[in-house]
């Protein structure tokens, strides 16, 4: 199997995903910070809480007392830590001139800038790059490591950047650069998430897996 053949099998099984859930690019960025170490359902509650408080803007989040923000995002877990991280990001976001200004940055500069924010790691930055700014960056998460280590296409011990470059290098040979690359990375990551959540779990449901005949770990 290859990364591309896995994508084709998952795409055939699940169809188009059109993911990440979010009404605006900024909401996607907020969600990327809040989703660290928690289920997306908890993030949705936190975002709804911010909306109900009419506070889902960078200026309002940055200016809000930290305890107030923490209470609004309580459902996302680690709410005191995430309130600080979210305010760090919003302050940086505003200092750079906001979304319209950041969209003018090239891919390398934007990614470097996002990673410079205290509390924004590689996966969070790449979620923002791909889903908010529509840049061709492949997101690596725990689901990716689990699925592809079981398929023996990776060991699962590789560093984040090593895995990211492996996916991008192979997939970029099969498609033309630009919007199609962004669409592929977007769809592929969403397919990995849905498959790993529903089928390739920590305790896998191999009998339901569309990849079972090619998977060395299949029971």
Q: What integer pLDDT is reported at residue 176 of this predicted model?
A: 57
* Residue whose structure tokens are 């200026």: 59
Largest CA distance in the chain: 54
Angle made by CA atoms 114, 119, 124, in degrees to the nearest 5: 55
The C-alpha atoms of residue 53 and residue 55 are separated, in whole angstroms, by 5
The C-alpha atoms of residue 97 and residue 207 are separated, in whole angstroms, by 51
Q: What integer pLDDT is reported at residue 177 of this predicted model?
A: 60
Buried/exposed code over 111-125 (b: 16+ C-beta within 10 A; e: otherwise): bebbeebeebebbbb
Domains and CATH numbers, the chain: 3-18+139-214 (1.10.1670.10), 25-114 (1.10.340.30)
For the chain, 219 residues long, the average pLDDT of each consecutive 10-residue run is 94 90 91 93 96 97 98 97 98 98 98 97 97 95 96 94 95 71 92 96 96 91
Q: What integer pLDDT is reported at residue 179 of this predicted model?
A: 63
Q: What integer pLDDT is reported at residue 178 of this predicted model?
A: 62
Residue 184 burial (CB count, 10 A): 19
202 burial (CB, 10 Å; 0-12 / 13-18 / 19+) is exposed
Residue 213 burial (CB count, 10 A): 8
């Amino acid at each position: 199997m290859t990364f591309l053949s896995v994508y084709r099998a998952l795409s055939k099984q699940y169809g188009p995903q059109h993911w990440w859930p979010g009404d605006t690019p900024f909401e996607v960025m907020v969600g990327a910070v809040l989703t660290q170490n928690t289920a997306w359902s908890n993030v949705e509650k936190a975002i709804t809480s911010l909306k109900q408080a009419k506070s889902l803007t960078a200026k309002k989040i940055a200016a809000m007392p930290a305890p107030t923000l923490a209470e609004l995002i309580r459902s996302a877990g680690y709410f005191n830590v995430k309130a600080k991280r979210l305010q760090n990001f919003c302050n940086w976001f505003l200092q750079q001139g906001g979304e319209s200004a950041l969209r003018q940055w090239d891919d390398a500069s934007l990614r470097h800038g996002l990673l410079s924010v205290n509390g924004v790691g590689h996966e969070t930055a790449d979620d923002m790059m791909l889903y908010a700014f529509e840049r061709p960056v492949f997101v690596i998460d725990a689901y990716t490591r689990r699925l592809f280590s079981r398929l023996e296409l990776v060991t699962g011990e590789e560093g984040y950047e090593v895995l990211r470059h492996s996916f991008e290098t192979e997939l970029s040979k099969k498609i033309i650069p630009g919007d199609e690359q962004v669409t592929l990375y977007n769809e592929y990551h969403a397919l990995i998430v849905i498959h790993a959540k529903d089928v390739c779990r920590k305790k896998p449901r191999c009998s339901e897996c569309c990849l079972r005949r090619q998977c060395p770990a299949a029971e």
